[in-house]
A and B are shown apart, each in its own frame.
Chain A
Amino acid sequence: MSEPRPRLGLFLLALVILVGTIGFLLGIIADDKPKQTLTAGPMNPLPEGEVTEEGIEVPRPPFSKDIFPCSDCHSDMDVNPERRELVEEHTNIVLHHDEKNRWCLDCHNANDRDKLHLASGALVEFSESYKLCGQCHGEKMRDWRAGVHGKRTGHWRGEKRYLLCVHCHNPHSPRFEPIEPEPSPKQPEELFE
């Protein structure tokens, strides 16, 4: 009965070696775990813009190149309030926005050229032109204020930027023009060509 003992010893030795090897390997794995902070990458900052009196942040209105401030040219000119076809300047503007009833000075202010005016005569900045649009398109302005009509960028929680009506709709011809689409996705049979 003294016999099994050495066998058992061998068995135990093998077992110890195995367990040791596995433990060693696991040890390597455990030790090499690097400690690291779990934060996301840097966020892209918002591009530059303006903040209206109401505290709504909007990008700069989409003026034609080198055209603003209007007073650069208009301050030295007499006001001609007569409705007429413009032949010398601003010939690129085609009014297609209730043009039968309206004309430049119904929205642009005759005396302070760098401002717009409401029906009441109250002056508004170009960055607050939505107030002017909202005189007729009240429902759309309400939706815009709620963030439902129009586009917002930035943060759903936190800072966000509103696009003005005029960023998408040309105020002189507001209908949204068709645009070129991005390419079609590949059809299944083309995927591995």
Chain B
Amino acid sequence: MSEERDHTTDRGRDGRGVRAPLGTERARSETAASDHSEMDRRDFLLKAAVVTLGTVTLASCDEATREAFFQQHFHEMSADDKAALIARHQAAYKEKYGLNFEISVKGPLDGVQYGYALDLNRCVGCRRCEWECARENNCSRDPEIHWIRVLEMERSHGVDVLEAEQYYAPEKVPVLDQFYMPVACHHCDNPPCVKVCPVTATWKEPDGIVVIDYDWCIGCRYCMAACPYGARHFNWGEPKISTPVACEELPAAEGALQTAAEYPRPHTRDCVNTNTHALGNVPRPLGVVEKCTFCIHRTREGRYPACVEICPVGARKFGNLLDENDEVRYILEHKRVFIFKEELNTQPRFFYYYG
């Protein structure tokens, strides 16, 4: 008891605790070397300050920012992580658009390898695919982003990209002596874009779809330089989808196409598609790259991509290359098929044919 009391008095006397009465020894230890112990303390205080500051900063962020900070690569996420990711994005989109988004993270289907074929003899260059794609995939309207570009070229020349025109605007299409070639992501089996990505933000899924994780993309645009098809697009501005109306609430553009007057005009359907996939058509942030995903949110549910369904001439074909009764398989076996820039050995999943 008495010893304890001594301690208390010591402490009380000079406020520095037990060291006070041992002045001599203290001096000795200081000379001996502000060696280790002194430096260690300074060092420690500095580090503690940094860590505390970091912790406080992180703690003062809202929870969504904290979660985004700790988000893992899509491949390393558990089911719980993905659920959290979905909830976080849903909350953000709710705030931005006032709409409830369905966000799928559905993986590839077994026994499926997607393939796409486009009939160059049929395409009339009406650009309905281009605009329907932008609507279906929540592409920014301002600044405009289109995943599909339709090239107009001269029949007498054949496919000649240097002479191609993508800003054509005649009253009616097709124009005599011209042909039209829509180009989007070819979902190459040997994808140059995936090879150059320094952070693995883009990869080829087991079913053949090349996807981008928008939360992982650092916006370096190496992939855009690597892609020989010009299929990748960068969000230079904050993406805007001007009308915050869910597409389901607008009358459908589909229906029996009976006369030219009834062909849908997708550019007039300004709406937000709330049926999304995390690696596909979720609204993108500023500063990331985006591109066609074969409508991953539709195709993994067994549906045709939006461009296939809108095409008024039926030039677009989509299916499973492993199914011997599939239409794309039939095309590859029976039709004249043209592979764009075949010499680059990109091995596309997208084929042009002459039906």
Contact = CB atoms under 8 A, between A and B. Distances in A.
- The 6 A-B residue pairs with the shortest CB-CB distance in the complex, in nearest-first order: A151-B314, A41-B102, A147-B327, A41-B275, A178-B172, A62-B258
A13 to B, nearest CB: 11
Contacts of A18: 48, 51-52, 55
Interface residues of A, number: 60
Majority SS of interface residues in chain A?
A: loop
A154 B314 contact: no
B25 A168 contact: no
A160 B304 CA distance: 9
Given A38-B82, A191-B236, A192-B143, A182 B267 contact: yes
Interface of B: 17-19, 22, 25, 29, 37, 41, 44, 48, 51-52, 55, 58-59, 63, 66-67, 70, 79-84, 86-87, 102, 104-106, 109, 112, 119, 124-128, 130-131, 143-144, 146, 149, 166-174, 236-237, 248, 252, 254-260, 263, 265-267, 274-277, 297, 299-304, 308-309, 311-314, 317-320, 326-327, 330-331, 334-335, 355
A148 to B, nearest CB: 6
Interface stretch (A4-12, A77-85, A86-94, A116-124): A4-12
8 contacts: A36-B86, A41-B274, A41-B275, A44-B254, A149-B355, A160-B304, A181-B172, A183-B267
B255 to A, nearest CB: 6
Interface stretch (A26-34, A105-113, A126-134): A26-34
Contacts of B55: 18, 21-22, 25
A3 B25 contact: yes
Contacts of B59: 21, 25
Contacts of A4: 37
B314 A182 contact: no
